[in-house]
Structure 1
Amino acid sequence: MNPVIETILNHRSIRHYQDRPLTDEQVKLIVQSAQAAATSHFVQAYSIIGIKDPARKQKLAELTGNRHVGTCGHLLIFCADLNKHKLAAEMEGTDATATLQTTEKFMVALIDTALAAQNAALAAESMGLGICYVGGLRNHLPEVSELLHIPEYVLPLFAMTIGYPADPSGKKPRMAAEHVYYEETYPENADDLKKHLQQYNEWIQQYYKERTNGKRSDTWTGQMAQFFKEPARAYMKDFVQKQGFDKK
């Protein structure tokens, strides 16, 4: 097993950091690694906003509901960005509005951003740093966008806290590979899938029992049933379209 795969397999979310900022060189390398990710048609439909200012980090911690956003060594905000492409079209005397607003280009921007972010995460972890994705950034996107001066055709998707781990967390067990990798076609037998999920429930229960000395023993399917029980962030579609995305 090579060091790259070891880094990938050792991933866990870190939410407690030492009071130690990243160096400019570390941030530069993480961003360059993000830029090295694959991108559809060389579009590079993302931007990354780095947050150092303690007051702004604290405000984002409040908006996301995540304390570690304010205490990490460095904070990155990953944004789907088609604003540059609007400007590129204007520079060439072209109106790209009809294309920029399609669901397809929205998906391109989402995928490009996610690929870049994962490269950034791996680069940070390879340096001995810890990271945590923060989807709570989408709790209050209008306020986040105002705080970060976000223009039309740019959409903040998630934050990433980065820093030196103060209290490394346990590694949550993922589903067995055969539960997520299928050859040729998706499995048709729902009962077989449920058997796999029941086995996974047992692993997750054991993980929580050991981690909490028996105080917690919930299952994965129980967590997912609760998570998907009620729609969240119901304002999202309207806000996404307000920013110019996914209108057609």
Structure 2
Amino acid sequence: MNWFGKDNKLFNFDMFSLSHFVILSIFILGAIAIYLIREKLISEISRRTEITVAISLILFEIGYHIWMYVNGIWKISRSMPLELCNIGLILCVILLLTRKKIVFELLFFIAILGAPQAIFAPALTFDFPHFRFFHFFYAHMMIVWVTLYFTWVRGYYPTFRTAIKMIIFINLLLPVILFINKEADGNYWFLRHKPAGPSLLDLLGPYPWYIFTLEGLLIVLSLITWLIFRNREKKYEESSHNQ
């Protein structure tokens, strides 16, 4: 059995299949575990562990692009790391390597609001145990877990400015992605049409109105997420000040 080939006849992914439910269970339990043992993780997760996770993400991503190239399916119109989750992955690696707060601020809402949608409704062709299956879910879960780790363990809580920075960051990238889509005949960020399979975008109206709906939803959800974390941030700052 070729676990790295491009033939998907033996690896046809079905949403909410057994393999998908297993992944969802691992993802949810992992997030809960990070919260429940957050105080223990402060002393147990070393700088070396953070760097190791960053390297693993880099290697997985390099392996993915090599796999696409070897199988003749790498295309400039769809294979460049320009999707929001790809950008989130890059930010996740930089955050693990540098621990910079500005990187966390750019990553936080992409991770919390974007990556879970991809995990629950994946635009994925290959099922377990294909390489692409592991690459897709490992990358997306790590984006969320690393963000939760830096939030609950390292105390990098978002602020109102975090939401504003992320919204500005996304809107500065928007014309760039539109230009690349036009020149490469691509559909990055699904700005030209919705994904072929079912997704949450189906609930946001027809093209092009779902783009504007998504923009408004992004702003609202970002502010709601900030409000949820606002009190925790204040408590963290007060406890840090008293130490």
TM-score scaled by length of structure 1: 0.26
Structure with the larger strand share:
1
Structure with the larger helix share:
2
TM-score scaled by length of structure 2: 0.27
Higher Rg:
1
